[in-house]
Amino acid sequence: MERLPKIAFPIIVVVIILFVLLAKSAITIGSGEAGVLYKTFDGGVVTDEPPLGEGFHIIAPWNKVYIYEVRQQELFEKMRVLSSNGLEIQIDGSAWYQPVYDDLGKLHQTLGENYLQRVIQPAIRSAARSVVGRYTPEQLYSTKRDAIQDEIFVETKKILEKQFVQLNEVLVRDVTLPPTIKEAIERKLKQEQESLEYEFRLVTATKEAEKVRIEAQGKADANRILSASLTDKILQDKGIDATMKLSESPNSKVIVIGSGDSGLPIILGNQ
């Protein structure tokens, strides 16, 4: 009984040491994450092997694991940039990005855990300044927003190409102009719209007038052709036919008195 405490003490110490070592050796990597292994006595950051995936891992207690989120993430940016004529424009945008999974070790070695501030934000700001500087405020406000968005994406992706970061999309959510410039652009756009509407009405009226003119010309041509084809003989024959039909009417009392200037009889009705 006296020897039991002496035997138990080393066992307790060993158990505590094993527990500490196990605690330092056990690593759990969550969903959407990956781990970069750092070997303290064997070359530092492991870059020639895939990162540690999700789940439970056992490592040597003297090594370390740096955990990164490898899912797509979103960065929101408010940037003040200059247009082609030197006016200050505010761009509200966002970027979808994620680290390149297989290059996570190289990312950690070259940029570290704050790679967002070191490369992604400067790249987006630089691309936005470069792209917006090519356009006027009118273009930024109205017709070129999609083009600006695409160009910022292309230029940012080019900058990040060798930085072990994958850029998925750049979105321009809002373009804010100085109030006086915005009001002037809106007035100009309204005037242009009114001018287009007036031109449309003018073109419509011109087409309608042309339609009426063509119809009148057609009727005039038809009358001219008809007049040219009606000789005195034809008119006299038609008059005789009409007179015969009228004389055969049971409701008419026909009186023939001499003849008219055209040689046709003059017919008086019973009224």
Quickly state the pLDDT bin for 242 (edges 50, 70, 90).
low
pLDDT score of 1: 46
**Which range of residues forms the domain containing residue 194?**
181-229
Same domain, 166 and 250: no
Quickly state the pLDDT bin for 42 (edges 50, 70, 90).
confident
For residues 113 and 4, the model is more confident at: 113
Residue 83 belongs to a domain with what CATH number? 3.30.479.30
CA distance 52 to 45: 12
Average pLDDT, stretch 223-240?
Answer: 65
100 membership: H or E segment, kind and range: none
Average pLDDT, stretch 232-254?
Answer: 62
The yes-or-no verdict on residue 112 having pLDDT over 80 is: yes
Same domain, 129 and 145: yes
Domain boundary residue, one of 44, 69, 94: 69
Q: Mean pLDDT check: name the lowest of 23-27, 163-167, 243-247.
A: 243-247
The yes-or-no verdict on residue 66 having pLDDT over 60 is: yes
Same domain, 194 and 254: no
Quote the number of domains for the chain: 4
Quickly state the pLDDT bin for 226 (edges 50, 70, 90).
low
Same domain, 45 and 141: no
Report pTM.
0.62
On the CB side of 217, how many CA atoms lie within 13 Å of its CA? 6
CA distance 83 to 216: 57
Average pLDDT, stretch 12-38?
Answer: 78
Q: Compute the mean pLDDT over every residue in the chain, rounded to the nearest whole number.
A: 79
Identify the residue whose tokens are 């200050």. Answer: 88
CA distance 59 to 62: 8
Average pLDDT, stretch 241-266?
Answer: 57
Same domain, 172 and 205: no
